[in-house]
A and B are shown apart, each in its own frame.
Chain A
Amino acid sequence: MTATTNRPALRLSLGPISYYWAKEKVDDFYAMAADAPVDIVYLGETICAKRNQLRFEDWLAIGERLEAAGKEVVLSTLALLEAESELIRLRSICDNDRWLVEANDMGAVHLLQGRPFAVGHSVNVYNDRTLALLARQGCKRWVLPVELTHETLAEMQQARPDGVETEVLGYGRLPLAYSARCFTARARNLPKDDCQGVCIDDPDGLVVSTQDDNRFLALNGIQTQSARTMNLLPELGRMRALGVDILRISPQANRTDQVIDLFHRVMTGELDPLDASDRLAQLMPTGPCDGYWHGAAGMDVQFRAGQAA
């Protein structure tokens, strides 16, 4: 274990809301976040441009409130950019001169070059040569792609360019795929062009089960997620040793405040990570997984609830 004394303490971030929530639910959520022990909050729609409960100005207003509450605000961008209207919106986000932007597509990276920016987990940073090139363009923060292991992260950390922060998704349903097709509309027998925003009915996504009743995936519009929630809290010690800067919690429909609280209390040493993970398992819509980090199938479970002494 290497000394970490020269690095600032591990910070906690709240990732963008990946689901379609009503505006009041979003406002309530960020009112909670303003008082919660998170350091960084990522804002904005990253999945589908047709979700219109909040306008760009609404996001900016939320950002201002969070900044006033002492949070670092980052604006996140769409992962899948197809239409010109989406590029127009992207340009206005990238042109903001107030907050850092998280690029979730190489189109956003292209627009942000020459300024400081972050890249999210849907930008494929699988090796140090990729990270070095992005750093030369202004990348200040990257998020480990979720299918990579702690061993790969260790290799990446050794070669990490100066001035680049590493963030790891620590909690949330896993982002697994993006498509042109809207699977939520398909499940409702609606055409995508007339989807009526039905994904607003599934604030944690719509579960897909196998024919033998294994809750397997969650449909979130054009995105497919895991049904299980990844939890890397038991790996906190290893993350610190690897010099991870930021641990990310991905919002869920209910009790995200309790998730944040458990992470925070483990980070301050108040709670044991395994005890806290037992409690986290109770808060998940389906149950936990952590396979990717350990080099197994993503859905696998290395840490099992009830394992805590």
Chain B
Amino acid sequence: MELVCPAGNLPSLKAAVDNGANAVYTGFRDDTNARHFAGLNFTPAKLTEGVRYARRKGVRLFIALNTYPQPGGFSRWQQAVDRAADLGVDALIAADIGVLDYAAQRHPGLNLHLSVQGSATNYEALKFYRDHFGVRRAVLPRVLSMSQIRHVVEHSPVEIEVFAFGSLCVMVEGRCILSSYATGRSPNTYGACSPASHVEWRETSNGLDTRLGGVLIQRHPKGENVGYPTLCKGTFRVGDNTYHAIEDPTSLNAMELLPRLVAAGVKAVKIEGRQRSPVYVAQVTRVWRQALDAFERAPEDFRPRPEWTAELGKVSEGAQTTLGAYHRPWQ
């Protein structure tokens, strides 16, 4: 099982490599990838350094180019593909059919992965990406149950990677435009969900209101912990009930499913969080490395250790974790 860890900058990349990642995924410093945040990501020079560092330690380096260019901007995505190919990355992670087509035509030797933003939830879709672009791996959206994942892997023409830990998308990735409905910017068009540029924090007599694009997402009473106003994790009213109508502020942690993911034939587990700190990357990578090693030593006895769960809980959104869609009752 390959452990694929996030890096939003060089210190995070080193933290992932040093703490036991098998592969690190990154992005360029612009809207060609779905973590387009101020100050985050790699210039070509930094990425060259990153590739060298990862290579020395035998770790693979992936680059995500997983947003959807429009005709006017397409040449920038082409240049980013060319740059990734020149850097000799181990895989390009892309979602858009046009980008995949360009990459496959122009750089036939380049290893292509279908990004989670490609929204492929079934093996018929995976066949399309294999047939047309020679995609060798796909990252599944966080919407399938464990038994559905097993079924996809069984019939898939490509390797399967799944998210194992981190911030939880409750919608099918690549097909959620809630963010642009409120702000004009979505992961598909801009590479960011609920962008910080559109967030407002407003003190009221009762506490603090957080808004996104002017829409009230969360109303925090005085003294309550204030979270980032991601649209789908807001508190809304349906009928007479006021609650997290879409999803609670919580993180995915699939560690207890590790034996079943291995048995299903999943080839890689992915840690979310290119926007997080090097400390997060180091902690989460270390814990997951320990878990994967423990599983390899004694698969029959594998169970997440309390100290791992506690450590991961510390860096989780809302300090709580869930199995998400992998666990049918969550759905």
A and B: bona fide binding partners? yes
Shortest Cβ distance from B213 into A: residue: A297
A2 proximal to B (CB < 8 A): no
Stretch at the interface among A58-66, A179-187, A240-248: A179-187
B96 near A127 (CB under 8 angstroms)? Answer: yes
Cα distance A177–B241 when bound, in Å?
Answer: 22
A110 near B175 (CB under 8 angstroms)? Answer: no
Kindly provide the distance from the CB of B125 to the nearest chain A CB, expressed in whole angstroms: 4
A292 proximal to B (CB < 8 A): yes
Q: How many A-B residue pairs have CB under 8 A?
A: 216
Identify 17 residue pairs between A and B in the complex whose beta-carbon atoms are under 8 Å apart, listed by A's number.
A81-B124, A82-B121, A106-B119, A110-B128, A126-B98, A146-B177, A177-B176, A178-B143, A178-B175, A181-B246, A182-B331, A192-B331, A206-B238, A292-B180, A295-B184, A297-B180, A297-B182
A97 proximal to B (CB < 8 A): no
A216 proximal to B (CB < 8 A): yes
B238 near A207 (CB under 8 angstroms)? Answer: yes
Q: Which residues of A contact B142 (CB under 8 A)?
A: 180
Shortest Cβ distance from B152 into A: residue: A82
When the two chains form the complex, which single residue of B180, B213, B245 contacts A208, counting CB atoms closer than 8 Å?
A: B245
When the two chains form the complex, which single residue of A106, A183, A295 contacts B120, counting CB atoms closer than 8 Å?
A: A106
Kindly provide the distance from the CB of B199 to the nearest chain A CB, expressed in whole angstroms: 14
A308 proximal to B (CB < 8 A): no
Q: Which residues of A contact B174 (CB under 8 A)?
A: 124
Kindly provide the distance from the CB of A189 to the nearest chain B CB, expressed in whole angstroms: 9
Interface residue ranges of A281-306 to B (CB < 8 Å) = 291-292, 295-300
A80 proximal to B (CB < 8 A): yes
A68 proximal to B (CB < 8 A): no
Residue of A125, A127, A296 contacting most chain B CB atoms (<10 Å) = A127
Binding site for B on A (CB under 8 A): 79-84, 86-87, 90, 105-111, 113, 122, 124-130, 133-134, 146-148, 151-152, 155-156, 159, 174, 176-183, 186-187, 191-193, 206-212, 214, 216-217, 219, 224, 226, 291-292, 295-300
Kindly provide the distance from the CB of B103 to the nearest chain A CB, expressed in whole angstroms: 11
Cα distance A109–B232 when bound, in Å?
Answer: 29
B87 proximal to A (CB < 8 A): no
Shortest Cβ distance from B131 into A: residue: A110
Q: Tell me whether A210 and B331 are in contact in the complex, defined as CB-CB below 8 angstroms, given that A80-B121, A127-B68 are known contacts.
A: no
Q: Which residues of B contact A127 (CB under 8 A)?
A: 68-71, 74, 96, 98
A147 near B172 (CB under 8 angstroms)? Answer: no
When the two chains form the complex, which single residue of A82, A130, A295 contacts B98, counting CB atoms closer than 8 Å?
A: A130
A224 near B216 (CB under 8 angstroms)? Answer: no
Kindly provide the distance from the CB of B207 to the nearest chain A CB, expressed in whole angstroms: 12
Q: Which residues of A contact B123 (CB under 8 A)?
A: 107
A214 near B177 (CB under 8 angstroms)? Answer: no
Kindly provide the distance from the CB of B17 to the nearest chain A CB, expressed in whole angstroms: 33
Q: How many residues on the B side are at the interface (Cβ–Cβ under 8 A)?
A: 70
Shortest Cβ distance from B185 into A: residue: A297
Q: Which residues of B contact A105 (CB under 8 A)?
A: 119, 121-122, 125
B175 near A152 (CB under 8 angstroms)? Answer: no
A214 near B188 (CB under 8 angstroms)? Answer: no
Cα distance A212–B209 when bound, in Å?
Answer: 10
Interface residue ranges of B219-239 to A (CB < 8 Å) = 219, 232, 234-239
B189 near A214 (CB under 8 angstroms)? Answer: no
Shortest Cβ distance from A209 into B: residue: B237
B69 near A111 (CB under 8 angstroms)? Answer: no
Kindly provide the distance from the CB of A286 to the nearest chain B CB, expressed in whole angstroms: 13
**Interface of chain A, helix or strand or loop or mixed?**
mixed
Contacts A126-B69, A179-B171 aside, 7 further interface pairs with beta carbons under 8 A come to A105-B122, A106-B129, A124-B175, A191-B331, A208-B237, A210-B215, A211-B235
Cα distance A180–B323 when bound, in Å?
Answer: 13
B184 near A291 (CB under 8 angstroms)? Answer: yes
Kindly provide the distance from the CB of A150 to the nearest chain B CB, expressed in whole angstroms: 12
B238 near A208 (CB under 8 angstroms)? Answer: yes
Cα distance A127–B17 when bound, in Å?
Answer: 36
Shortest Cβ distance from A81 into B: residue: B122
When the two chains form the complex, which single residue of A81, A192, A207 contacts B121, counting CB atoms closer than 8 Å?
A: A81
Interface string of B63-78 (1 = CB under 8 A from A): 0000011111010000
B124 near A156 (CB under 8 angstroms)? Answer: no
Shortest Cβ distance from B247 into A: residue: A181
When the two chains form the complex, which single residue of B70, B98, B215, B217 contacts A148, counting CB atoms closer than 8 Å?
A: B70
A181 near B330 (CB under 8 angstroms)? Answer: yes
A193 near B328 (CB under 8 angstroms)? Answer: yes
Q: Tell me whether A177 and B175 are in contact in the complex, defined as CB-CB below 8 angstroms, given that A129-B98, A291-B184 are known contacts.
A: yes
Kindly provide the distance from the CB of A222 to the nearest chain B CB, expressed in whole angstroms: 9
Q: Which residues of B contact A109 (CB under 8 A)?
A: 125, 128
Interface residue ranges of B16-33 to A (CB < 8 Å) = none
Cα distance A174–B237 when bound, in Å?
Answer: 20
Q: Tell me whether A130 and B96 are in contact in the complex, defined as CB-CB below 8 angstroms, given that A147-B177, A299-B181 are known contacts.
A: yes
Cα distance A147–B185 when bound, in Å?
Answer: 9
Shortest Cβ distance from B326 into A: residue: A180
Cα distance A90–B121 when bound, in Å?
Answer: 14
Q: Which residues of A contact B74 (CB under 8 A)?
A: 127-129
A186 near B245 (CB under 8 angstroms)? Answer: yes
Q: Which residues of A contact B184 (CB under 8 A)?
A: 291, 295-298, 300
Residue of A79, A176, A193, A295 contacting most chain B CB atoms (<10 Å) = A176
Q: Tell me whether A147 and B171 are in contact in the complex, defined as CB-CB below 8 angstroms, given that A127-B68, A176-B181 are known contacts.
A: no
Interface string of B179-217 (1 = CB under 8 A from A): 011111010110000000000000000000000010111
Q: Which residues of B contact A297 (CB under 8 A)?
A: 180-184, 213
Q: Which residues of B contact A83 (CB under 8 A)?
A: 148, 151
